[in-house]
Amino acid sequence: MINIKYFLKGFFCIKDLNSPAIALAASFIAIGALFKNIGLNIQESIFSTFLTYALPGSLIMAESLIVGASLLNIFLAVWLVNARLYPMTVSLFPSLTHKSQPRLKYYFACHFIAVSAWLIMKENYKSVQRKYRLDYWIGVGVANLSVAVSATAFGFLISDHLNKDMMIGLAIVNPVYFICVMIGAMKTIQMSLSVILGSLFGISFYFISPEWCILLGGFTAGTLAFFIGELNGN
Amino acid sequence: MATNIVLAILVTSLATYLSRFLGVITSTKMKETSKIFKWFNCLAYSTLSALLARIIIFPVGALAQADYFIRFIVIFICLMVFLISKKNFVYPTVLSALLLALLNSSF
């Protein structure tokens, strides 16, 4: 089923110096506190992080619950904001496939696709034998999800002690971590342009459509970066 | 609250899993060395970048309550710390929370 040695190797990546554990914990503590403030109980909060495990989607759900949006509205809004997971999956899973792994395992393992685990895997996958990459990935994913779920529960429990300034402080940790990782990933023309153009187009498209700016901005920037990179030998 | 919480959670997770699931289906026959794989790689990083830029410049939730100027100062200082500390991730992330909470409560 799962090779324990590689699973544990992936799992313990969470202890590395470039691990997203701090950023992940900070943002999910904030989510846990937010869930309590909008009236979820602790089981629902844990259940939500466990099943969704994607921060912007959880934020949208919380906002929608506050304004009493319909389920269809929630579905569409979350799908739009989390559609970035599609290119992330497509740009990672071909590196994890091996004929010895059962098909169903991929459908289970894709639940762990989230920025934090994805970035670790993009950095590390080449150092793992192809046959065991999926097991390694599941280890990375389980570790990240465990941090997220524990932090949600912790945030829920301490929410009464978190004041406004602390909540704001927690909210900046994740973006700062990801900016640092993105800068670290800018190693080729294609990657650098993807990151720089992505942020520029993301903001520009916001003025046209706040709902679609991430997808439209990301798509335009990524496609431009790809072609410019191809013309200049990557 | 009008909407049932458990149903909202299920709908949220379904909407999220859908993109992951479609991603696995698309990647089934894709080769790592193909151009289309490279293109998707660019798309993944640029979409993440667009999301990040949106979170920082047009935030929702708690971050929206911090002043633009303070947000930029914190991010700038943390980036400098990241580059000076030879790309250590712990210093800038811990510092960002402390600095923003401190600056926000002082101004």
Same domain assignment for residues A125 and A214: no
Q: Which two tokens stand for residue A4?
A: 């324990």
Whether residue A181 lies inside any domain: the answer is no
Selected residue with higher pLDDT from B8 and B86:
B8
Average pLDDT of the segment spanning A205-209: 93
User: Domain count of chain A?
Assistant: 2
Report percent pLDDT > 70 for chain A: 100
d(CA A135, CA A22): 24
Same domain assignment for residues B74 and B105: yes
pLDDT digits (tens, 9 = 90+) for A158-192: 999 998 889 999 999 989 998 998 898 898 999 99
Whether residue A15 lies inside any domain: the answer is yes
| Contact indicator for A169, B100 with CB cutoff of 8 Å | yes
Average pLDDT of the segment spanning A65-85: 90
- Picking from A160, A156, A172, A162, the residue whose alpha carbon sits closest to that of residue A35 is A156
Same domain assignment for residues B70 and B53: no
Q: Which two tokens stand for residue B101?
A: 């909470």
pTM: 0.89
Contact residues, B window 26-85, toward A, CB-based 8 Å cutoff? 26-28, 30-32, 35, 37-63, 65-66, 71, 74-75, 78-79, 82-83
User: Domain containing B44: what range?
Assistant: 31-59
> Of A46-50, A87-91, A127-131, B60-64, which gets the smallest average pLDDT?
B60-64
Whether residue A179 lies inside any domain: the answer is no
Of the three residues B41, B59, B77, the one that is the final residue of a domain is B59
- For the question of an ipTM over 0.85, the answer is yes
User: Domain containing A206: what range?
Assistant: 186-234
Please report the pLDDT score of residue B107 as a whole number. Answer: 76
pLDDT digits (tens, 9 = 90+) for A137-149: 999 999 999 999 9
Same domain assignment for residues A153 and A194: no
Same domain assignment for residues A162 and A196: no
Whether residue A134 lies inside any domain: the answer is yes
Selected residue with higher pLDDT from B29 and A28:
A28
Contact B51/A202, CB-based, under 8 Å? yes
Same domain assignment for residues B73 and B106: yes
Return the residue of B nearest to A171 by Cα: B63
Return the exposure string of B10-47: e unless at least 16 CB atoms fall within 10 Å of the residue's CB, then b.
bbbbebbbbbbbbbbebbeebeeeeeebbbbbbbbbbb
Q: Which member of A166, A170, A175 has the closest CB to residue B52?
A: A175
Contact B44/A222, CB-based, under 8 Å? yes
